[in-house]
Structure formats: C-alpha cells, structure tokens
Amino acid sequence: MKTATSRHDFGNDLLPRLVARGERVYAYRFHDYWQDVGTLDSYYQSNLAFLTDPGPLRPWMTQPFAIVGRGALVDHGILDKDVIVGQGAQVGTGEGRVANRACPEHLWSGFVVVGKGAQLPPDLSVGRNARIGAFVPAEQFTDGVPAGGVVDGPESMH
C-alpha cells in the first residue's frame, strides 16, 4: 500500500533529498543482485531470502544484533540492532486489521517495527502493526501494546 504522498521511499525520496542537500552518498554495485526494499513487506521478504540456502549473496554478514529471551515469540517483527525482547514476550500478536495510528501508510500489513536499543520487558504483548521507538526502556511499558499502537522513545522515528 505505497501511497503517492510517501516521503520515505529510499530511491524516490530519501536519496534525491540527500543529494540535493550536498550530502555524501555512496553506493556499492552488487553484480547479479538487486531488490527493491521500498516497503516494509519487501524489506522483510528480502531479508528472509538471506536465510535460504543458498541465499542471494554469499558471504553475508550483518551487524543488526537483537536478543530474544527464552520462550519469547517474534512474528513478523523488524527489530533494529541492540533490541532486547524479554523472556516470554509476544511480539506480533493477534490479527493485523488495525493500521498503525502514527504511520498507517507503512504499518498496515501485520508487521511490528522495534527501534534500535528498545528493551521489551518479560511477558509483554505487542499487537500487529505496532511501532516501538528507539531506546524505549523496559520501565516505559506499563501494559501491553495494542494492535496499531505506538510507544515513542526519546528519539523520533520520523
């Protein structure tokens, strides 16, 4: 559900803005591989492809590092690095019928996005299409996060 008014598409919006501002922009050409990751769905699917044998590129190294506690479940989650999912937490629960209240144009198909360094406490329940900001401490969660919910961190995601 990419909209014509999106300002977050990498190739159409973000790169041209950086170039226009005179920022340094670098690229690396991967021979025989290209994947459009302009939506959360395509980003998720392209990352899953790297788990297949053989994946699209070899060798493949990643620095995004998340800790998922014992008994925790992450379903359709996109977790940035340094995220901690507490023991028994459930990320991506229920049905994905409610779009995210802050960015419905991006979070509408059931994914949960968790920002860098967020700490999800044990036994937390996070509904689909939820967005959790970067560096949210475990103490900030007083209850579960409903489908389409937002928990803002100290740094804005927009």
Q: Which domain holds residue 4?
A: 1-62
Residues 151 and 88 in one domain: yes
Total of domains in the chain: 2
Convert the pLDDT of each residue in 1-38 to its tens digit: 444 455 667 778 878 888 999 998 887 777 777 787 77
Convert the pLDDT of each residue in 119-157 to its tens digit: 999 999 999 999 999 999 999 999 999 999 999 988 765
Residues 27 and 100 in one domain: no
Residues 44 and 117 in one domain: no
Which of 61, 64, 84, 63 minimizes the C-alpha distance to 72?
A: 84
Residues 56 and 84 in one domain: no
| HSE toward the beta carbon, residue 108, CA cutoff 13 A | 8
Which of 43, 34, 47 minimizes the C-alpha distance to 9?
A: 43
